[in-house]
Homo-oligomer: A and B are copies of this chain.
Amino acid sequence: MKIAFLGLGGMGSAMVRNLVKDGHTVVAWNRSYEPTKAINALGVAIERTPAEAAKEGDIAITMLADDAAVEAVTLGKDGIIEGLKEGAAHISMSTISVALSERLAKAHAERGQNYAAAPVFGRPEAAEAGKLFIAAGGDAELIDKIRPALEAMGQRVFVMGDQPAQANLVKLTGNFLITCVIESLAEAFALTAKGGVDTAKVFELLTETLFAAPVYKTYGALILDGKFSPPGFKMPLGLKDNRLLLQAAEKLEAPLPFASIVRDRFLAAIANGDGGLDWSAIAKRAAEDAGFEVK
């Protein structure tokens, strides 16, 4: 399968390497020049515009920063939609809004092009190792067809439904659940610390019993160590995903009280100068509310 890959950030570059390693032919495009050098060195042709890249592919994968970038690269001047062949497919793997995913599905359909969403769970290390988890949404046949490419990038593909936007909704929901873990642990640590308990022992008890899941281990350790910098996922990106979640929830008429609490934590953290830290630094704010500073 010939693949056009749009977006060579930390995640995208790692994903391209795994596609190449798996034997796929890849052409790529990136907004800035620098990241294309290492990818080009793998034998990947670099195209000048999204349209020119898309023209070469059976599928065109986007892995970009946000809605604005995906919209520009897809629907803007020299965008994917102008280059993609009839019957070829755009696979959107970024974390984007439900609304944009719905608009992209419609725009591609009007051109006789296909579209699926396949957002990923995992940090750059997981992308590098081909260990991403992928939530896919779209026509079942299309997903079967692209499955080999997805499996080159991820350790497992979960199909969420035949509407692409359903995968985007699940991705936002997953990030929401992560923030709930962060906030709940932050409250738990603040409380037990004020009770004089060594929170490292609380962490050990939790993660070796009922809460023995990667998400508690990873974020519990970050909070415990106050290791919010360098950020693995920056605070404003966490706020952005929270906003996309709340927007989707408003449209679907689903109240999310936990998400609103997390929203206010993000805002308070950013307003108090922590916008450059990892999103798990909302835990600092829970501690400060209890009257002490996380180390």
Contact = CB atoms under 8 A, between A and B. Distances in A.
A198 interface: yes
Interface residues of A, number: 78
Nearest to A162: B196
A268 interface: yes
B210 A160 contact: no
Contacts of A13: none
A214 B209 CA distance: 8
Contacts of A195: 98, 165-166, 169, 248, 252
Contacts of A196: 161, 163, 166
A169 to B, nearest CB: 4
Contacts of A20: none
10 contacts: A121-B209, A158-B205, A158-B208, A177-B206, A184-B184, A191-B249, A195-B248, A253-B270, A268-B289, A268-B290
B158 A191 contact: no
A187 B257 contact: yes
Interface string A241-255: 001010011101111
A90 interface: no
Given A178-B210, A264-B256, A170 B194 contact: no
A157 to B, nearest CB: 10
Q: Which of A165, A183, A188 has the most CB of B within 10 A?
A: A188
Closest 5 CB pairs of A and B: A271-B291, A213-B213, A260-B260, A255-B264, A180-B184
B258 A160 contact: no
Interface string A203-237: 01110111111111000000000000000000000
A160 B197 contact: yes
